[in-house]
A and B are shown apart, each in its own frame.
Chain A
């Protein structure tokens, strides 16, 4: 099985040909298939930019990147990648179910594999059974984010990119969704790249955490958390080893800021 991501000497920037602002510079990153990677870093370090390059929303200036053994474009065309944004980005005029089914209605022409309507199953899985006919404004922030995750999972993506998906939620809801996400990850075997501002969230979720520094973005810390966790990436938030890892990440983050 190829690695989920292999990036070498990746340069990414904005601003056209003349005045390029480099956001990522010489980034090397390998992510094993099926793993859960947390990406931590100060604002402007290029965390979201990295996800956008993987999702084929942005072309790198230089360097190479392969996603699931292919180009980002091929992977997007196969619908092998799901994206969850910080704001749920639900269409307010569509019911919850129709939002989840959005991937069935658009982009079918370039799609090279068939996608089934698993909306009912996914609504149940995300604890949204019975809410299918509601409109997004009738849901809480946590429920909206569950809908966004269900929508991203509809095409059974092999790679799930999450850009601070729980950043706007209260702590209790966030913790609960963290646990649900881990359960989901264990069941589906999907590779997850999870961008967050929260050290605790990064350490609790990730099998591995990378810390990016800004100006320009590069990896300054790469911490494998599997030795600190039990089978299946399980741990308690207050485990001494996890707290220790958090202190290590905090130190790296402070140096990076």
Chain B
């Protein structure tokens, strides 16, 4: 038998308690076990960086945010448009989709130097990397979503003599939205990864650059603060996507 669901208060309290227990163990147990602070700084030390170096963190958050957002928008938009082309032309899809799949198997870390060679050291290559990393999951999901209307739904529109564009706007696009949003949720995290990976390879600004600098300078509290900020950025983007999804998809 399935266990009974938790009371709503417990459903909130338990994760908070779980996180608190790990933070307390991290703060007090790790030093006792002899883990040095330059490898794992205490949570209070990481929090201290947010107070001491707030301006530095924000200065480095800004470029990463812009790159991730621009990459997210461009990569997903390109994927949606290409998916629309592919589902309307089986010939183009048959000719080019396998090549697209092949490109998808190239690790983004291997592709990034090439992108930086092409686009130089500014923000552009980071945006491109973030866009590329968002592109493939959305393309695949969007194609599947646009093809997900049932035979009966297509027959219904045929009985009504609907045109191809009416079928697209009234049936196929709304049908595709749930799958589009599930890939946008994934892309909200991967866009940040793409921007940071780009900054690792060639940049002196951004959270990725901050992570590299802090690592080489043994400023582990700053390194951990940059990591916390990166993950907060992903979570914020994810929440925005979920909020929009809830407004758009009501069923």
| Residues in A lying within 8 Å of B, measured CB to CB | 52, 55-57, 76-77, 79, 81-83, 85, 87, 89, 91-93, 102-103, 105-107, 109-111, 135-137
- CB-CB under 8 A for A89 and B174, given A57-B159, A110-B161: no
Across chains A and B, which 9 residue pairs bring their CB atoms closest together, nearest first?
A107-B161, A106-B162, A107-B160, A106-B166, A92-B251, A110-B161, A89-B152, A83-B159, A85-B152
Q: Closest Cβ of chain B: how far from A85's Cβ, in Å?
A: 5
Tell me if B's interface is mostly helix, strand, loop or mixed.
helix
Closest residue of B by beta carbon distance from A85: B152
B162 lies within 8 A of A52 (CB): no
Query: Are B251 and A52 within 8 A (Cβ)?
Result: no
- Does B97 touch A at the CB level, under 8 Å? no
Report B174 CB to chain A, min CB distance, Å: 5
Question: Is B251 in contact with A103, judged by CB distance below 8 angstroms?
Answer: no
Interface residues of B (CB under 8 A from A): 150, 152-153, 155-163, 166-167, 170-171, 174, 177, 249-251
Residue contacts A-B, CB under 8 angstroms, 10 given: A55-B155, A55-B159, A76-B159, A79-B161, A87-B152, A89-B156, A91-B174, A93-B250, A105-B170, A111-B161
Asked if A57 and B155 sit within 8 Å, CB to CB, the answer is: yes
Knowing that A57-B155, A91-B171, A111-B161 touch, tell me 10 more A-B residue pairs with CB under 8 angstroms.
A76-B159, A81-B159, A85-B155, A87-B150, A91-B170, A102-B170, A106-B157, A106-B162, A106-B170, A135-B250
Q: Which residues of B contact A111 (CB under 8 A)?
A: 161
Q: How far is the CB of A110 from chain B (nearest CB, A)?
A: 4
A93 touches B157 (CB 8 A): no
Residues of A within 8 A of B157 (CB): 106-107
A57 shortest CB reach to chain B, Å: 5
Main secondary structure of the interface of A (DSSP, over half): loop
In the bound assembly, the distance between CA atoms of A56 and B156 in angstroms comes to 11
B160 in contact with A135 (CB, 8 Å): no
Residues in B with CB closer than 8 Å to A83 are: 155-156, 159
Known contacts: A93-B249, A136-B251. The answer to whether A103 contacts B160 by CB under 8 A is: yes
Question: Are B251 and A137 touching (Cβ within 8 A)?
Answer: yes
**Docked CA distance A133–B158 (Å):** 26
- Interchain nearest-CB distance for B220 vs A (Å): 50
Measured CB to CB, the closest approach of chain A to B145, in angstroms, equals 13
The residue in chain B whose Cβ has the minimal distance to the Cβ of A137 is B251
Q: Do A89 and B251 touch (CB < 8 A)? A: no
Distance from B179 Cβ to chain A, minimum over Cβ atoms (Å): 13
Q: Is the CB of A106 within 8 A of B160?
A: yes
User: Do A93 and B161 touch (CB < 8 A)?
Assistant: no
Chain A residue contacts of B166, Cβ below 8 A: 105-107
Residue among A93, A102, A136 making CB contact with B160, cutoff 8 Å: A102
- B96, chain A: closest CB distance, angstroms: 26
Q: Are B161 and A135 in contact (CB under 8 A)?
A: no
Beta-carbon nearest neighbor of A92 in chain B? B251
Residues in A whose Cβ lies below 8 Å from that of B158: 57
Alpha-carbon distance between A135 and B174 when the two chains are bound, in angstroms? 15
Smallest beta-carbon distance B9→chain A, Å: 29
Output the least CB separation between B246 and chain A (Å).
Answer: 13
Collect the chain A residues with CB atoms within 8 Å of residue B162's CB: 106-107
Contact present for A85 and B251 (CB under 8 Å): no
Determine the distance from Cα of A102 to Cα of B159 in the docked complex, in whole angstroms: 12
Minimal beta-carbon separation of A251 from chain B (angstroms): 33
What is the bound-complex CA distance between A107 and B163, given in angstroms? 6
B251 lies within 8 A of A93 (CB)? yes
Distance of A226 Cα from B246 Cα, bound (Å): 55
Report how far A98 CA is from B155 CA in the complex, Å: 18
